[in-house]
Amino acid sequence: MTSAQKYIMSVSYNSGSGSTVNAYAASAVKALSLELKKLQNEPTEGFHITPNEDNLLIWTVGIFGPPNTIYQGGYFRAQIRFPNNYPYSPPTFKFLNKIWHPNVYDNGDLCISILHPPVNDPQSGELPSERWNPTQNVRTIMMSVISLLNEPNTSSPANVDASVMYKKWKDTKGADDEYARIIKKQVELSKEDAKKNGIIVPETVEEYIVKPKLPENDAGDMIDMDDDYDHYDDYGYSDDDDFEESDEDSGQGEN
């Protein structure tokens, strides 16, 4: 039995008559299985992903520090947790190793507009278009996170001290290098983590850029996501049921 099937059965067993929860969970698993397959077939530079074997709503990601930045050579692990009603509500993103950054809380939680629920909050300073919407996906999330690493949003920092330090570093054109020194220390620590896990971290632009996809006959070990995750009918779910539930509850922004 596949991990997706186990998860759907677990949701069905634990939620009793909660048909909406069941339908959303099945819909989320289906959406994520399709995203995973596409990411495997069309990889993007800068990160790799490992879904939880027992729960497809939890993914571990490894982010490679972009070349020609202070994060070059770094390897930063994080966890993405998807809600049952994904993609109508955003996932959460938490760094698993220590990272000093204006938009990362002390506990590793990332603060980024793209993962904020699509509610109208004038006090936040964020436009509704900057927040989450169901057209976003793991690829767009990761591209936004990698971009944020080197270009923090200091207007509403999660780590005020890091934000102040970053501004000094930028304003002095690197003369006040305390921020850069902290990041470089964390990069060196992350390299040790990568080595322990057998991860080869790209250091140059050439290494960082994703390699072309192998010919189809050379990719025989690629997971067949269609076989692994397209068994929703076995548990009483259908695409029609998913879309009917989605219409009834058109994606509230908050969990």
The CATH H-level (homologous superfamily) assignment of domain 3-209 is Ubiquitin Conjugating Enzyme (3.10.110.10)
Q: Where are the domains of the chain?
A: 3-209
d(CA 172, CA 180): 12
- pTM for this model (two decimals): 0.74
H or E element at residue 207? helix 205-208
CB 145 within 8 A of CB 93: yes
Query: Across residues 11-28, what is the average pLDDT?
Result: 60
Q: Which residues are catalytic?
A: 111
- pLDDT for 79-117, tens place per residue? 999 999 999 999 999 999 999 999 999 999 999 999 998
Q: Select from 171, 174, 229 the least CA-distant residue to 36.
A: 229
Q: How far apart are the first and last CA of the chain?
A: 29
Question: Strand 75-81 vs strand 47-51: parallel, antiparallel, or unpaired?
Answer: unpaired
Supply the pLDDT for residue 118: 77
pLDDT more than 70, % of the chain:
69
Phi, psi of 62 (to 5 degrees): -115, 125
Does the pLDDT at position 147 exceed 50? yes
Query: Across residues 168-173, what is the average pLDDT?
Result: 97
94: its two tokens: 């938490």
Burial class (CB within 10 angstroms; exposed 0-12, middle 13-18, buried 19+) of 178: exposed
From residue 154, alpha-carbon distances to 108, 115, 116, 185, 223 in Å are 17, 17, 16, 22, 41
- pLDDT for 115-143, tens place per residue? 998 766 655 556 666 789 999 999 999 99
